[in-house]
A and B are shown apart, each in its own frame.
Chain A
Amino acid sequence: MKYLLLMYANETVASSFTPEQFQTANQEWMALTKELQDAGVLLGNSGLSPVANATSVRVRDSKTLVTDGPFAETHEQLGGYFLVECSDLDEAISWAAKFPNAKYGTVEVRPLWSGR
C-alpha cells in the first residue's frame, strides 16, 4: 500500500535552530531518506517552503479568491512529505516513528485514496 507521511511541526522550532542544530537535523533527514531508499520503500519526498510563502485559492460564484497564508492557521504546519510503499499500516508507523520531527511535532500517516 502507498502511504503519504506528512511532517507536521511548529515552524518556529526549526527556524530557531542554531547552525549546529540545523546541521544535525539536516543530517538526520538525509540519513532517514537514505534508509528509506535502501529499504526500497521510498517513492518520493520533498520539504515544503514555510507557510509564510503559502497562497490559498478558492473559487466562489465563479470568482477566484486568492489570499495570503495557509488553508488553516494551526499550531503545527505541514513542512514536507514522504511517499512510501509499505506492506501495511504497522510498517508505515514504524517508519513514521523514525522521523526527526516525530520527537517535537507530528507525523500523519495517510493511505493514498484507493477508490473505496
Chain B
Amino acid sequence: MALSKFARCGLEGSDTSRMTASDQIEATFRAEHGRVLAALISQLGDFTLAEDALQDALVNALERWEVDGVPHNPGAWLTTVAKRRAIDRLRRSSTQERNAVILETFTEQDEPDMDDPIPDDRLKLMFTCCHPSLALEAQVALTLHTLGGLSTPEIARAFLVPVPTMAQRLARARAKIRNAGIPYRVPPADVLPERLDALLAVIYLIFNEGYVATEGEVLTRSDLCSEAIRLCRVLVDLLPERAEAHGLLALMLLHDARRETRLNDAGELVLLEDQDRSLWDRVKIEEGVAVLDAALKLYTPGPYQVQAAISALHAEATTAEATDWQQIAALYDTLAIMIPSVVVEVNRAVAAGMAGGARTGLDMLLRLEDQAGQFYPYHVARADLLRRTNQREAAADAYKQALVLCGNSAERAYLQRRLDEMLNF
C-alpha cells in the first residue's frame, strides 16, 4: 500500500493540510499503525492475529476513506474495524479451543466506541520487537514494520535486500515471538536498563542506516532518519524519566539538522568545518539542544547525552573556528570512560588535536595504531592532522591507506581530493 510515497509521507515535519487525500491516508496509517497494533495485541493476546486483522482493516480503510475522507479519530476507527476482522478470522478457524477462548472474552466486551481513546501499549510492542533473542536485523525490520507502519517492500528497499528476503526475515521473527514465548510487556525493573539500551541501539541503528546513505536509494534511506526520530519521540513520551532516551533523541535531531550539508552536489563528503552553516536546520538544532537540556536535568548521564552534547557544541558554533574544542575534548574523555572503543579513542585524539595542537592528537593516534590500523577513520584522522601541520608526504601516505580500507563512495571522493591536493602542490 504505502509503496511509492514513502519518502514523502513521514509525518515528521510534514503539513497534512497540503497533502492529497491518498497522502493523508498513508500518513495517517503510518502515524496510527504502532498504537493500534499495540492495543490489538494486548486485547487479542496474539501478535500474528493482530497484525493480520490490522492489515484487513487498513485495506478496508483505504477503500472507505478515499470516498468518505479520513475519520476524525482514525485510530479508533482502525481498532474497531480490526477487532471485527479478528473476530471474523477467529470464527472462520474456530476449530481450535484457543480461538474459542479468545472469542468468548472478546465478544463479551461492549462494542467499542469510535471515540474511545486507544490505550497506548506501544512500549510493550517496542520491547517485544527489540527482544535480544531476535537477531538484530530482525529487531530493526520488525520495529519499522510494526511501530513505523512501513510495508515489507519499503523496509526491503531501505536496507537494500530483496523483498522476499525481508518478508522471510519478518515472518521468522513473528514465528519466533510466538513459538519461543517472547513476552509482550515492559520488562521488569531488574532487566529494564539493559533492554532499554538494546531498544535505543535499534533506533540509533535505523537512524544511522539513513544517515550514512550515500548512493542509490538516498531518498528512501534518508527517510529512515525521520522514522528513527519519530520512534524515539514516542519512546521519550512513554518513558520520560529515562535520560538516555532523551539523549538519543537530542543526538539524532542535532545530527539530522546537518544532514543536507554533509554531501555536496557531486555526492562528495563535506567535512563539518567546510559545511555551509547557514543551511543547518535551526529548528532541529534548537529542539535538539532543548531535549538535551531536559535530559541533563534528570542527572543520569550516559553516552548518548555526551555525544549529543558534543554535537550541540558543533551545532552552536557560528563558525568552524569558533568551535569549543576544549569542551569537546573533555566530553570525549568522558565518553571514552563510558563506552571504551577504538572509534571513541580515534575521535578523542582528533578532538585533542584540535584543542591542544595537532602534535598532541598525532601522538595519541600513534599509540592506537595496533588496535586501529585496520580501521579507515584512524588513517583519515591521522591524514587530516598531518595535513594541518603541513606534513604533506606523510599525509598523502595516510590518505592512501585510508582509501585502501574505505568502501563508502562519498568518503572516498573526499579522500581522493585530499590526496590529490597533497600530491599536486
A residues with a Cβ closer than 8 A to B are: 1, 3, 86-90, 92-94, 109, 111, 114, 116
Chain B contacts with A in 163-195, Cβ cutoff 8 A: 175, 178-183, 187, 191
Cβ 8 A contact of A88, one of B175, B183, B191: B183
Q: List 18 A-B contacts (CB under 8 A).
A: A1-B181, A3-B181, A87-B181, A87-B183, A88-B181, A88-B182, A89-B131, A89-B180, A89-B181, A89-B183, A90-B182, A90-B183, A94-B191, A109-B133, A109-B180, A111-B180, A116-B178, A116-B179
A2 nearest in chain B by CB position: B181
Query: Beyond A89-B133, A90-B187, A90-B191, is A114–B179 a contact (Cβ under 8 Å)?
Result: yes
Q: Which residues in B have their C-beta under 8 angstroms from that of A1?
A: 181
Cβ 8 A contact of A111, one of B131, B181, B191: B181
B177 nearest in chain A by CB position: A89
Query: Beyond A90-B187, A90-B191, is A111–B182 a contact (Cβ under 8 Å)?
Result: no
Q: Which residues in B have their C-beta under 8 angstroms from that of A3?
A: 181
Interface size class, chain B: 10 to 19
Q: Which residues in A have their C-beta under 8 angstroms from that of B182?
A: 88-90
Q: Which residues in A have their C-beta under 8 angstroms from that of B180?
A: 89, 109, 111
Shortest Cβ gap from A39 to chain B (Å) = 16
B182 nearest in chain A by CB position: A89
B131 nearest in chain A by CB position: A89
Q: Which residues in B have their C-beta under 8 angstroms from that of A86?
A: 181
A92 to B178, CA, bound (A): 15
A97 nearest in chain B by CB position: B191
Shortest Cβ gap from A33 to chain B (Å) = 22
Q: Which residues in B have their C-beta under 8 angstroms from that of A94?
A: 191
7 extra A-B contacts, CB within 8 A, seeds A1-B181, A111-B181: A87-B183, A88-B181, A88-B182, A90-B182, A92-B181, A109-B133, A116-B179
A21 to B182, CA, bound (A): 36
A111 to B187, CA, bound (A): 20
Q: Which residues in B have their C-beta under 8 angstroms from that of A87?
A: 181, 183
Q: Which residues in B have their C-beta under 8 angstroms from that of A93?
A: 133
Q: Which residues in A have their C-beta under 8 angstroms from that of B191?
A: 90, 94
Q: Which residues in A have their C-beta under 8 angstroms from that of B178?
A: 116
Q: Which residues in B have their C-beta under 8 angstroms from that of A111?
A: 179-181
A110 nearest in chain B by CB position: B180
Max chain B Cβ within 10 angstroms of own Cβ: one of A1, A87, A88, A89: A89
A92 to B180, CA, bound (A): 10
Q: Which residues in A have their C-beta under 8 angstroms from that of B187?
A: 90
Shortest Cβ gap from A17 to chain B (Å) = 31
Q: Which residues in A have their C-beta under 8 angstroms from that of B131?
A: 89
Shortest Cβ gap from A104 to chain B (Å) = 21
A62 to B313, CA, bound (A): 74
A86 nearest in chain B by CB position: B181
Shortest Cβ gap from B127 to chain A (Å) = 10
A3 to B181, CA, bound (A): 10
B133 nearest in chain A by CB position: A89
B132 nearest in chain A by CB position: A93
A114 to B133, CA, bound (A): 18
